[in-house]
Amino acid sequence: MPSFLPVIALMRGLDVLRVVNTLRSATVADVHRQTGLHRATVVRMLETLEHAGFVVRRDDGKRYMPTGRVLLLANGFQAHERAAQIAEPVLSDLRARVGWPSDLAIPDGDAMLVAVTSRPFDHLLIERRLGARAPWLASSLGRAYLATCSEMYREEVLSALEKSSQTFDRAARNRREVSRILRETRERGYAVPDEAYSKAAYDNATSGFAVPVFAHSAVVASINLLFLTSTITLSDAVANFLPAVNDAAVRIGAAMELDLPANSRGPFSASRDARPDPLGLKRIRR
């Protein structure tokens, strides 16, 4: 538990940097729309980040782009690498079988972190970079995980999201609606994304569904399948491809179980009663 109240200016600066890094090229209006911060605040934060060397201005100063300096911020985080090593061949095989790409994501605080993807850069689908963050309550990846994780961890995530200023996190404030969505997800056997999120992120050109990945009887990740809505409907995609996606999830989970035993504290250890830490991100004190 933190000892002090958060430094609001720092949190705003990090939010701005996150948006620029995600979009790769962003205007003040883009950052304002993504963060909800006042435009004057956005400008101050961008100029501060420019002074620190994390962003540069292009297009006559109208657009901001991240510099290579942002890579320094990720040097210490390697938890996703083992997940990628295990899942990448399975997702490649799934892509060959069904013809559509997939992502595997792991829990990472306020969002699901994409650890591996089978989307090629030149594909018609919108590109998804490694390290992209999928919102818990709006993405199929997040919903698949939350619907099947322990009640304790779910409550921890929802409590944190209630305080978030991010657009698609605010749904956590309506617990009855969240419970309905997650219950329907469990009953259906797969998760679908929020329609407003699909519109904002992909202009409804792309849709998909996701399923959880279990290891040692607990959820440790989730994988999705993405497709163009102009080519196939969601119902047809589920009917045709859900068995293959479930099979991929089982294969990844089995590989994670072999990677470490159930009682291990390292990567991919999991428990239904304890806070999930499938990638060894925390040390458990006993």
pLDDT for 109-146, tens place per residue?
889 989 899 876 545 555 556 678 899 999 999 999 99
Structural Rg of the chain based on CA atoms: 19
pLDDT tens string 148-175: 999 999 999 999 999 888 889 999 999 9
What is the CATH topology of the domain spanning 8-74? Arc Repressor Mutant, subunit A (1.10.10)
Instruction: Give the start-to-end residue ranges of the domains of the chain.
Output: 8-74, 79-259
Q: Which H or E run includes 23? A: helix 8-23
pTM assigned to the model:
0.69
Query: Is the predicted pLDDT of residue 16 greater than 70, yes or no?
Result: yes
One fold for 8-74 and 79-259: no
Cα distance between residue 119 and residue 231, in whole Å = 17
Backbone angles phi, psi at 108, to 5 degrees: -150, 70
What is the CATH topology of the domain spanning 79-259? Beta-Lactamase (3.30.450)
Place of tokens 């068995």: 243
Please compute the mean of the pLDDT values over residues 13-29 and round it to a whole number.
88
pLDDT tens string 24-52: 889 999 999 988 999 999 999 999 999 89
- Higher local confidence (pLDDT), 199 or 131: 199
Residues, the chain, total? 286
CA-to-CA separations, 16 to 43, 217, 267, in angstroms, rounded = 10, 38, 31
Task: Give the pLDDT confidence score for residue 269 in this predicted structure.
Answer: 45
Q: What is the DSSP letter of 136?
A: T
Q: What's the whole-number average pLDDT of the chain?
A: 83
